[in-house]
């Protein structure tokens, strides 16, 4: 009997290390367990962030390189040959590598930076902290999620060094161009594309494993008193982002699986009557449009997977730094839900020029325009939040305001492009490039930067340097507009072209093209300032002021926020809170109430105080 | 020694502790995560089947055929997998280790047999004039069976690990008992068997879907 009791205790102790009494009996983790194969959500968040920053630099650098080609198509840059070797013989980027760079720029920024780097970082950091949990529902699956992302990154990065180069058939991977392994058609269609597909498969697995964990954690591990309507808007955004990913990424996986069947096994799901060099190939019955349906069934929700976390972060940052409750909390939650639902019904607006039945197109136009309603509600509420607030123009606040500006500018052109008659004219031109870069590229980056500057003290117990932060902000804001605003006037100029030198009609855009290229280089350099600031501040940043010390742990609340992440020790311990997890009594936006600057969520209601509903 | 009490600790106790400190749905978070994962996989197979419907509608030379009867047999086998796995789980819960090991091994073998029969099905299909690169109607059968088979392979790998652990534990009754009262192990068993049921139901769905679309 005694033997059995011991066994039970052993098992019990072992099992509970992750959640319940993590601080009571956990074994000392090794270096490898702490920093590499960590199951701690805080470490995983940092891993996602730093991998995302690496990809951000790579993706940004690619855009600088192809902007050099676009801005100065007749000049040579000898340093390019030392950098790219045979891809830039004589200092001029080859047209093949130009296409590869455009393809990889899209893939990297959309998936590896703004999905993995953004959702992965902030969902991991904030979900356990803000809902009051010791960690994610499954630390192990969370770790797997990162390492699948890492594997995807390695595969994609290696593909740059292939003899035939990385995938070069566009980030949308449309067949038939990408449906054949024939490098005579397109060099990137060889091994480069297969590695792209493998990387995307790993990436999809990663984001699914992450997403399952986020939703399960939010629904099951909220601390006592944390009802759904007391969740910060960040958490609502992460939850719906994860749901969106769980339901839409499988469609892309199916699309890519069929594509690889065609490429590797000789099936013809997407291929029909292909003629190469005068020979009719043996493929019958496939339809490339099928791929577009599967691709955009993910592809459109994907833009909301990118923008929703940014929206959540911005809502939180605007409220904290305006010292005012968020305007229209319920409307914010409902509009996130509405965006998620409608985002599944708009995918064919990417396909207006595929010969889509105009009656069907009308339905997609309707839903596309409809999605502007919840988006506009959110914009209105952000402006309502800062209206008459005691706004603190800190660096995260500047980026949050910048986000709203970018989102409005890019969103308005979305209304134009959502109409099929206009879209058919503007399809595949720089007008579209301008639209989506502003609304989901630059805007999402602004949300991400707002988050990094705001939660850097939570990550490292220090602030990032303000001066460098303001320089980063102003250059990025002005530069971002300088790059993409002129593109609105370049209607008719087709995207993805290697050079326009052969088209006399486009000569009048030469000045604008060069101007954009210069702005892109300046903005890229400003991002390097951010990277330097980030790593410098980890070790040398101003420390967060210690408000009190308890049981050997120090506590501080750098932005005077109400949410639970600031009630945990500055030191970032395993299990997040030294003692019991705080219980929650009030909503997360009690700023400037009861004659107090702010009241934390774990402060019980004062006698006679009515709970905010 | 009351085995039932020892075993009912673990997950229930964990849930009790969650109940004390947490607002939760009443489901173990990892089970919840598995359900979400199954929702995701359902979307994957839904995408494949809708691709078939789309293709069947717009391709003039689509050829219908009777599915090789071996697929009906493999469907029966996969139902057997579910039954064996479920019976194994019940034995596990009741701490009937020997029965558990036998049933679990049976389930494993049946699942391998299922994969072999799928492969035989491919050969029968090719013999009927529908090779992998033939008419697109045939291609969809290969597609569905292969991507479903990959899910089976993953489930088999996890099952193999559990099976090896269970067979190793046979020599030590104390270890065996620890295996059962270990709440984490019990949870993992339940998750694994749930996944087997899910992936079996997916094949039944795919089989019926193909059967009725190709009549």
Say whether A494 sits in a helix, a strand or coil: strand
- Residue B3 CA to residue A284 CA, distance in Å, equals 63
Nearest Cβ partner for A250 among B6, B41, B183: B41
- Averaged pLDDT, B150-167: 92
Q: What is the mean pLDDT of each run of 10 residues along chain A (613 residues)?
A: 35 37 55 84 96 97 95 92 90 93 96 96 96 90 95 96 93 92 84 95 96 94 91 97 95 95 92 88 89 94 96 97 95 97 95 92 96 96 95 96 97 95 94 96 97 96 96 97 95 90 89 96 97 96 92 92 94 87 93 91 90 80
Q: List the structure tokens of A182.
A: 């024939």
What phi, psi does B183 have (nearest 5°)? -65, -30
Q: Is A286 on the interface with B (CB under 8 A)?
A: yes
Q: What is the 3-state secondary structure (H, E, C) of chain B?
A: CCHHHHHHCCHHHHHHHHHHHEECCCCCHHHHHHHHHHHHHHHHHHHHHHHHHHHHHHCCCCCCCCCCCHHHHHHHHHHHHHHHHHHHHHHHHCCCHHHHHHHHHHHHHHHHHHHHHHHHHHHHHHHCCCCCCCCHHHHHHHHHHHHHHHHHHHHHHHHHHHHHHHHHHCCCHHHHHHHHHCHHHHHHHHHHHHHHHHHHHHHHHHHHHHHHHCC
Decide: A346 and A420 in contact? Cβ < 8 Å. Answer: no
Q: What is the 3-state secondary structure (H, E, C) of A359-428?
A: HHHHHHHHHHHHCHHHHHHHHHHHHHHHCCCCCCCCHHHHHHHHHHHHHHHHHHHHHHHCCHHHHHHHCC
Nearest Cβ partner for B21 among A217, A224, A247: A224
Give the mutation candidate from B3, B8, B44, B61 for the A interface (greatest A CB count, under 10 A): B44
Q: Rounded to a whole number, what is the distance in angstroms from the first to the last CA of chain B?
A: 59
Decide: A141 and A212 in contact? Cβ < 8 Å. Answer: yes
Q: Is A7 on the interface with B (CB under 8 A)?
A: yes
pLDDT of residue B13: 56
Q: Which CATH number is A39-231's, of 1.20.210.10, 3.50.50.60, 3.40.50.10210, 1.20.120.1770? A: 1.20.210.10
Q: Is B132 on the interface with A (CB under 8 A)?
A: yes
pLDDT of residue B10: 45
Decide: A59 and A110 in contact? Cβ < 8 Å. Answer: no
Query: Which residues in chain B touch residue A286, judged by CB atoms under 8 angstroms apart?
Result: 136
Say whether A462 sits in a helix, a strand or coil: strand
Q: Is B17 on the interface with A (CB under 8 A)?
A: yes
Q: How far is CA A113 from CA A153, A209, A289, in A?
A: 11, 17, 28
Q: List the structure tokens of A181.
A: 């392994």
Q: Is B184 on the interface with A (CB under 8 A)?
A: yes
- Superfamily covering domain B68-215: Cytochrome c oxidase, subunit III, four-helix bundle (1.20.120.80)
Q: List the structure tokens of A612.
A: 């905010």
- Give the chain B residue nearest A1 (alpha carbons): B1
Q: List the structure tokens of B184.
A: 């984490």
- Residue B101 CA to residue B107 CA, distance in Å, equals 10
Q: Is B194 on the interface with A (CB under 8 A)?
A: no
Nearest Cβ partner for A266 among B62, B132, B178: B132
Nearest Cβ partner for A223 among B9, B21, B136: B21
Of chain A residues 187-226, which have a CB less than 8 A from chain B? 208, 211-213, 215-217, 219-226
Query: Which residues in chain A touch residue B143, judged by CB atoms under 8 angstroms apart?
Result: 257-258, 261, 267, 269
pLDDT of residue B18: 60
pLDDT of residue B166: 83
Query: Cβ of B25 and A219 within 8 Å?
Result: yes
- Give the chain B residue nearest A3 (alpha carbons): B174
Instruction: Map out the domains of chain B as residue ranges.
Output: 68-215
- Give the chain B residue nearest A246 (alpha carbons): B40
Say whether A548 sits in a helix, a strand or coil: strand
* Closest to B121 in 3D by CA, of B195, B65, B160: B65
Structure pTM? 0.91
pLDDT of residue A608: 85
Q: Is B44 on the interface with A (CB under 8 A)?
A: yes
Say whether A171 sits in a helix, a strand or coil: coil
Strand partners, A275: A280
Q: Is A30 on the interface with B (CB under 8 A)?
A: no
- Residue A72 CA to residue A158 CA, distance in Å, equals 29
Q: List the structure tokens of B118.
A: 């799928």
Give the mutation candidate from B16, B28, B47 for the A interface (greatest A CB count, under 10 A): B47
Q: Is A22 on the interface with B (CB under 8 A)?
A: no
Q: How far is CA A454 from CA A447, A526, B41, in A?
A: 10, 19, 36
CB pairs under 8 A between A and B: 164
Say whether A550 sits in a helix, a strand or coil: strand
- Residue B162 CA to residue B160 CA, distance in Å, equals 6
Q: How far is CA A503 from CA A75, A298, A493, in A?
A: 17, 36, 10
Decide: A319 and A222 in contact? Cβ < 8 Å. Answer: no
Residue B73: asked if its preceding bond is cis (omega within 30°), the reply is no
Nearest Cβ partner for A286 among B23, B33, B136: B136
- Residue A369 CA to residue A346 CA, distance in Å, equals 9
Q: Is the dihedral of CA A165, A151, A123, A321 positive or negative?
A: negative
Give the mutation candidate from A221, A285, A602 for the B interface (greatest B CB count, under 10 A): A285
Query: Cβ of B37 and A224 within 8 Å?
Result: no
Name A340's Cβ contacts closer than 8 Å, sequence gap at least 6: A240, A243, A244, A301, A304, A308
Q: What is the 3-state secondary structure (H, E, C) of A245-301?
A: HHHHHHHHHHHHHHHHHHHHHCCCCCCCCCEECCEECCCCCCCHHHHHHHHHHHHHH
Q: Any idea which residue has 């299909």 for tokens? A: B125
pLDDT of residue B7: 34
Instruction: Give strand ranges (E) for A436-522.
Output: none
pLDDT of residue A502: 87
Of chain A residues 486-525, which have a CB less than 8 A from chain B? none
* Closest to A11 in 3D by CA, of B32, B181, B140: B181
**Nearest CA of chain B to the CA of A251: how many Å?**
6
Instruction: Map out the domains of chain A as residue ranges.
Output: 39-231, 544-605
Q: Is A139 on the interface with B (CB under 8 A)?
A: no
Q: Is B175 on the interface with A (CB under 8 A)?
A: no
* Closest to A110 in 3D by CA, of A369, A273, A378, A304: A304
Q: What is the CA radius of gyration of chain B?
A: 21
Name A141's Cβ contacts closer than 8 Å, sequence gap at least 6: A209, A212, A213, B33
Q: List the structure tokens of B193.
A: 């068997």
Decide: B114 and B152 in contact? Cβ < 8 Å. Answer: yes
- Residue B15 CA to residue B11 CA, distance in Å, equals 6
Say whether A213 sits in a helix, a strand or coil: helix
Q: How far is CA A60 from CA A101, A313, A333, A337, A453, in A?
A: 10, 23, 33, 32, 20
Say whether A304 sits in a helix, a strand or coil: helix
Q: How many residues does chain B have?
A: 215
Q: Is A2 on the interface with B (CB under 8 A)?
A: no
pLDDT of residue A11: 35
Query: Which residues in chain A touch residue B63, judged by CB atoms under 8 angstroms apart?
Result: none
B12 pLDDT exceeds 70? no
pLDDT of residue B173: 76
Of chain B residues 82-121, which have a CB less than 8 A from chain A? none
Name A20's Cβ contacts closer than 8 Å, sequence gap at least 6: A134, B14, B17, B21
Decide: A322 and A385 in contact? Cβ < 8 Å. Answer: yes
Q: How far is CA A611 from CA A126, A543, B84, in A?
A: 24, 35, 54
Q: List the structure tokens of A179.
A: 């449906």
Backbone dihedral region of A38: left (phi > 0), alpha (psi from -120 to 50 degrees) or beta? beta
Query: Which residues in chain A touch residue B10, judged by CB atoms under 8 angstroms apart?
Result: 11, 15
């Amino acid at each position: 009997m005694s033997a059995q009791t011991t066994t039970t205790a052993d098992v019990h102790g072992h099992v509970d290390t992750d959640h319940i009494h993590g601080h009571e009996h956990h074994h000392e983790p090794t270096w490898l367990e702490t920093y590499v194969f960590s199951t701690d959500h805080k470490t995983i968040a940092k891993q996602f962030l730093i991998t995302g920053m690496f990809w951000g630099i790579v993706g940004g650098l690619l855009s600088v390189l192809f902007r050099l080609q676009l801005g100065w198509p007749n000049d040579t840059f000898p340093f390019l040959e030392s950098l790219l070797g045979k891809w830039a013989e004589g200092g001029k980027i080859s047209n093949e590598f130009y296409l590869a760079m455009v393809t990889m720029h899209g893939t990297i920024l959309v998936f590896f930076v703004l999905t993995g780097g953004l959702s992965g970082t902030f969902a991991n950091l904030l979900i356990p902290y803000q809902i009051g949990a010791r960690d994610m529902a499954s630390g192990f699956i969370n770790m797997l999620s990162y390492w699948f992302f890492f594997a995807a990154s390695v595969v994609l990065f290696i593909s740059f060094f292939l003899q035939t180069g990385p995938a070069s058939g566009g980030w949308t991977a449309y067949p038939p161009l990408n449906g054949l392994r024939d490098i005579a058609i397109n060099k990137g269609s060889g091994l480069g594309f297969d590695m792209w597909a493998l990387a995307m498969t790993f990436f999809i697995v990663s984001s699914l494993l992450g997403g399952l964990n986020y939703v399960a954690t939010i629904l099951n591990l909220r601390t006592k008193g944390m009802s759904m309507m007391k969740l910060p808007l960040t958490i609502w955004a992460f939850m719906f982002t994860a749901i969106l990913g769980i339901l839409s990424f499988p469609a892309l996986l199916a699309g890519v699986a069929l594509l690889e069947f065609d490429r590797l096994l000789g099936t013809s799901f997407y291929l029909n009557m292909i003629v190469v060099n005068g020979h009719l190939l043996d493929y019958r019955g496939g339809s490339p449009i099928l791929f577009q349906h599967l691709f955009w069934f993910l592809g459109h929700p994907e833009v909301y997977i990118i923008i929703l976390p940014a929206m959540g972060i911005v809502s939180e940052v605007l409220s904290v730094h305006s010292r005012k409750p968020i305007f229209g909390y319920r409307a914010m939650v409902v509009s996130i839900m509405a965006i998620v639902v409608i985002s599944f019904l708009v995918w064919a607006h990417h396909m207006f020029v595929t010969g889509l039945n105009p009656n069907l197109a009308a339905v997609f136009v309707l839903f596309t325009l409809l999605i502007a309603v919840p988006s506009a509600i959110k914009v209105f509420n952000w402006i309502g939040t800062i209206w008459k607030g005691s706004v603190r123009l800190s660096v995260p606040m500047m980026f949050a305001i910048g986000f709203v500006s970018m989102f409005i500018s890019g969103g308005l052109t979305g209304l134009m492009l959502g109409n099929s008659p206009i879209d058919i004219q503007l399809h595949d031109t720089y007008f579209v490039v301008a639209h989506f870069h502003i609304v989901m590229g630059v805007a999402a980056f602004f949300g991400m930067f707002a988050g990094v500057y705001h939660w850097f003290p939570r990550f490292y117990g220090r602030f990032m340097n303000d001066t460098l932060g303001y320089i980063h902000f102003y250059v990025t804001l002005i530069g971002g507009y300088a790059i993409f605003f002129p593109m609105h006037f370049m209607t008719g100029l087709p995207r993805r072209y290697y050079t326009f030198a052969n088209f006399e009609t486009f000569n009048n855009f030469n000045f604008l093209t060069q101007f954009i290229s210069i702005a892109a280089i300046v903005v890229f350099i400003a991002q390097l300032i951010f990277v330097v600031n980030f790593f410098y501040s980890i070790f040398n940043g101003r420390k967060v002021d210690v408000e009190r010390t308890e049981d050997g742990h120090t506590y501080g609340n750098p932005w005077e926020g109400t949410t639970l992440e600031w009630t945990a020790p500055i030191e970032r311990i395993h299990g997040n809170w030294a003692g019991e997890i705080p219980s929650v009594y009030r909503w997360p936006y009690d700023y400037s109430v009861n004659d107090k600057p702010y009241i934390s969520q774990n402060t019980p209601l004062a006698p006679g105080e009515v709970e905010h509903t | 020694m009351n085995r039932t009490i020892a075993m009912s600790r673990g997950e229930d106790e964990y849930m009790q502790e969650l109940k004390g400190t947490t607002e939760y749905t009443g489901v173990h978070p990892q089970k919840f995560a598995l359900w979400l994962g199954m929702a995701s996989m359902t979307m994957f197979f839904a995408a494949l089947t809708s691709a078939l419907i789309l293709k069947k509608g717009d391709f003039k030379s689509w050829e219908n055929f009777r599915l090789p009867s071996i697929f009906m047999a493999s469907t029966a086998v996969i139902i057997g997998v579910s039954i064996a796995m479920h019976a194994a789980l019940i034995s596990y819960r009741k701490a009937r280790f020997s029965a558990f090991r036998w049933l679990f091994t049976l389930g494993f073998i049946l699942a391998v047999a299922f994969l072999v029969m799928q492969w035989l099905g491919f050969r029968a299909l090719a013999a009927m004039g529908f090779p992998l690169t033939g008419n697109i109607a045939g291609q969809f059968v290969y597609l569905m069976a292969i991507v479903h088979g990959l899910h089976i392979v993953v489930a088999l790998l996890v099952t193999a690990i559990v099976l090896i652990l269970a067979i190793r534990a046979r020599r030590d009754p104390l270890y065996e008992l620890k295996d059962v009262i270990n709440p984490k192990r019990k949870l993992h068993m339940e998750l694994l068997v749930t996944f087997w049921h899910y992936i079996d139901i997916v094949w039944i769905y795919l089989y019926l879907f193909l059967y009725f679309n190709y009549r």
